[in-house]
Structure 1
Amino acid sequence: MTRTRLAPTAAVAGVLLALAACTSGTGGGDTGGDAGGGSPGASGEVNPDAPLYDQLPPEIQDAGAITIATDTHPPYRTVEDGGEVTGIDPDLQVALAEQLGVPFEPQLTSGLDAILTGMLSGRYDAFNGPVRTTPEREADFDAVVWMTTRTSYVYSAERQDELGEPTALCGARVAGVTGSVTESQLELYNEWCAGEGLEPAEFMGFDDTNSTFLAVNSDRADYAGTTESAALDLQASDPGTYEYIVQTDEQGAGTDQLAMFMPKGNGLAEPMHAAFEAIFENGEYERVMGEWGLEDVMVDAPTLNPMSGQ
């Protein structure tokens, strides 16, 4: 079944062109890289009187900022022409920084594998996904879960008759971010396809969400797999151009827990979890999620390492 929900945002053509321009300037690929070594979107000042400043590790206090990996994934993050990062994630960072006493300093990179490797090497202090937490990931990273999601598959509205039914995805070409929730969810979808006597979908891996949407626009892929919030944002950007189907429980979807990740042992997990608890309590979390139309994927409280309890 196709779901439609609209919300005002920038025109998709301009957004995609801007993101493509920014992405081409990154190191990209499997090794990742910063956009000219800069920190687009960094703002704010250190406030030693903030409620959680004393809980920050000395390295963060000395640096005066939390270096956070940033990629292009609307509506979580959109990199504007001038390098400014806008979206849900930057809005949450402002609220969290008020509690922690240091700003977030975004570092633009590309590819989930590069981001995770960069955190383990000490290049980045954190990454806010959207990335699903798993027991395997929590072996290397601390995870603060702050939202849930279901996987959705975006396609051109012109192909509604051809692609609008769940069975149409079986045997189709599906673009998705390598190593993302979509890749693992598509494997479960393919199990459902097999049970229906249909061919499995082909997964086509890309470095970022912007590239998956461009693959649909250029007919290199039939669908772009993404979070439902990203599907809603794209659909609303250009009404009538895109539709999407949502993976159901019958098709193995379940509900994924999305988290901010930090390397084990960097000392940020406890203060970051406390900062999330604070913005849940003071209403900033609800305000930001409401402004972006994400009420359906809110959680009642943030949780730290729910898969491992460590």
Structure 2
Amino acid sequence: MRTARTIAVGTAVLLALGLTGCAVDEGGTGSPAAAESAAPQKMNQKLHDALPDAIKKAGSITAVNNGSFPPYTIVDGAGSLEGATADISVAIGEILGVKIEHATVDGLASVLGGMDAGRYDLDMGPVGDFKERQAQATFIDWVQEFVVFAVAKGNPQKITDLDSACGKKVAVMASGSAEKVIKTQADKCVTDGKPAVEVQSYKDQPSSILAVQSGRADAFFSSQAPLTYFVEQSDGALELAGTGQKNGFDDLHQGALVPMDSPLVDVMLGAFQELFDNGTYADIMKAHGLEGNMVDAPGINLGVS
């Protein structure tokens, strides 16, 4: 059976978060709804032939991720990957006629460093696409995202936007775009005569959201899709805040990334385009509740800020 999954969550992630009310896929086969949403793909011979010889010989592409980013990536204690990104990886691997194998590292810096060193061929993402990052890697964008806050139920600290975060303890993922924005806001708070934001940087999403659940942080500032997931799984303990606003970001594109000048750029763009054209992309995104994050077409380096 295919590895597509809908709301299945790795047991290790559940233990780390202390969440309740979600289905655990102990068999590793995924939920029927997600499995049915992504039919097996036919290999595209032209795209397969365009792969680097080393990849064709190995029969696999080595991908990397920087930990759980549900519902896109959910990494369990054994290192296996679930979520929308995992499902798309399977489908793209079928189109290319190779297997996409995943490794997990801590932080985006390790992802970029590992790709520069030739240890990894790509990161399926989605990773935030910004001009400054385009100097380090090439993005194949397939998601539009928004950045909001996850707070305790009732929003006791009344965090509704960046300005209201002054003097509050805000968790972010280390080295991410949200960390940069919240640190800029911390400086702005001081300039405006207000207490600075106390920025808490964590290595992954589960650690960040756990900081809010345990009271160590007042909010977690991150992408709306994973925060929506965590709120839904919190059994009423969390809610979203600051929705429907820019929150320091313009249009935010996210995608897969490959080393600059990689021969995989056009290959991956072609594979994504095939998933868009045949409806598989939409099926997978909808199966994971990501309708609001879909884009009309994949593109290269769409980030403009």
Normalised TM-score (structure 1): 0.79
Matched, 1:128 2:124: yes
Q: Equivalences for 1:125-274 in 2 at 5 Å? A: 125-157=121-153, 160-166=155-161, 167-187=163-183, 189-190=185-186, 193=189, 198-246=194-242, 249=245, 251-274=247-270
CA distance in 1, matches of 2:15, 2:230: 13
Residue 61 of structure 1: aligned partner: 56
Measured after TM superposition, the shift of residue 305 of structure 1 is 2.3
SS in 2 for 1:200: coil
SS in 2 for 1:253: coil
Higher deviation after alignment, 93-102 or 225-234: 93-102
Alpha carbons of structure 1 residues 133 and 251: separation in structure 2 relative to 1, 3 Å: closer
Deviations 1:22-75 (A, max 9, x none): xxxxxxxxxxxxxxxxxx99xxxxx97645100111121122111111222221
Alpha carbons of structure 1 residues 13 and 59: separation in structure 2 relative to 1, 3 Å: closer
Normalised TM-score (structure 2): 0.80
Deviations 1:103-159 (A, max 9, x none): 1100122111111111111111111333211222222211101111111111221x5
Give the partner amino acid of 1:223: A
Q: Does the CA contact (< 8 Å) of 2:44 and 2:95 recur in 1? A: no
Give the partner amino acid of 1:131: V
Q: Does the CA contact (< 8 Å) of 1:100 and 1:275 recur in 2? A: yes
Q: Equivalences for 1:1-16 in 2 at 5 Å? A: 9=7, 15-16=13-14
Unaligned runs of 5+ in 1: 1-7, 21-39, 42-46
SS in 1 for 2:118: coil
Q: Does the CA contact (< 8 Å) of 1:12 and 1:238 recur in 2? A: no
Measured after TM superposition, the shift of residue 224 of structure 1 is 1.3
State the identity %.
Answer: 30
Alpha carbons of structure 1 residues 110 and 298: separation in structure 2 relative to 1, 3 Å: same
Matched, 1:290 2:286: yes
Q: Does the CA contact (< 8 Å) of 2:62 and 2:121 recur in 1? A: yes
CA distance in 1, matches of 2:278, 2:191: 47
SS in 2 for 1:93: helix
Deviations 1:243-272 (A, max 9, x none): 121365464332211121101233111100
Q: Does the CA contact (< 8 Å) of 1:51 and 1:101 recur in 2? A: no
Give the partner amino acid of 1:17: L
Higher deviation after alignment, 231-240 or 81-90: 81-90
CA RMSD of aligned residues (A): 3.0
Alpha carbons of structure 1 residues 176 and 130: separation in structure 2 relative to 1, 3 Å: farther
Q: Does the CA contact (< 8 Å) of 1:188 and 1:251 recur in 2? A: no
